[in-house]
A and B are shown apart, each in its own frame.
Chain A
Amino acid sequence: MTEQERRKRQEKLLGKLNRLEAYHEIQNEMGRLTAAFNFHQKEKVLEHFALDLEDVSLEYADEGRFEGPAAVKAVLEELLGAPPKPGEMIDMQLTTPMIEVAEDGRTAKCVWWCPGAGAYTDNEGAHAVWLWGEIAVDFIYREEKWKVWHLHYFRLIKCAYEKGWVDDLSMINRPNTPMHPKSLPSTYHNPYSPLSIRDGIPCMPRPYRTYTAADRYWELNRDKR
Chain B
Amino acid sequence: MRWNMEDLDFLNEEELAELERRTERLLSVWEIQNLRGNAAIFHDDQHIGEQRRELNALKHPGVDAESMLEARRKPVVDSLEGNMLIHPLTTPVIEVDETNTKARGVWWSLGLEGLSIHREKPMAILSIGMVPGVHVKEDGEWKILWGVWQRTTKNEYHAGWIDSMIPTNTRPPLTPEQDRKGFGRYAYQKDRVRCPVPQPPEPDTWEKYPDEWDQSWQKPASETFGLENEKSENKKTVEEKGEES
Please report A residues at the B interface, Cβ cutoff 8 Å. Answer: 1, 3, 6-7, 9-10, 13-14, 17, 20-21, 24, 27-28, 31-32, 34-35, 39-41, 83-89, 91, 93-95, 115-117, 119, 121, 125-128, 161-162
Contacts and interface: CB of A to CB of B under 8 A. Distances in A.
Contacts of A34: 91, 108
B110 interface: yes
Given A35-B199, A89-B188, A125-B190, A119 B161 contact: yes
Interface of B: 3, 6-7, 9-11, 19, 22-23, 26, 29, 88, 90-95, 106, 108-110, 128, 152-153, 158, 160-162, 188-194, 196, 199-200, 202-203, 223
B92 A117 contact: no
Nearest to A28: B93
Question: Chain A at the B interface: mostly helix, strand, loop or mixed?
Answer: mixed
Contacts of A93: 90-91, 108-110
A161 B153 CA distance: 13
Across the A-B interface, the 10 shortest Cβ-Cβ residue pairs: A39-B196, A31-B93, A126-B190, A93-B90, A6-B10, A87-B190, A128-B160, A94-B91, A93-B108, A126-B162
B153 A117 contact: yes
A162 B160 contact: yes
Given A17-B19, A87-B192, A117-B153, 20 more contacts: A6-B9, A6-B10, A10-B11, A17-B26, A21-B22, A28-B93, A28-B94, A31-B106, A35-B199, A35-B200, A41-B196, A86-B192, A87-B162, A89-B152, A91-B110, A93-B109, A94-B91, A95-B88, A116-B110, A161-B160
7 contacts: A1-B6, A10-B11, A32-B200, A93-B108, A93-B110, A95-B91, A119-B188
Contacts of A13: 3, 7, 19
A89 B196 CA distance: 11
Nearest to A161: B160
Contacts of A20: 26
Contact of B193 (A21, A27, A28, A86): A86
A34 to B, nearest CB: 6
Contacts of A115: 90, 110
Contacts of B3: 13
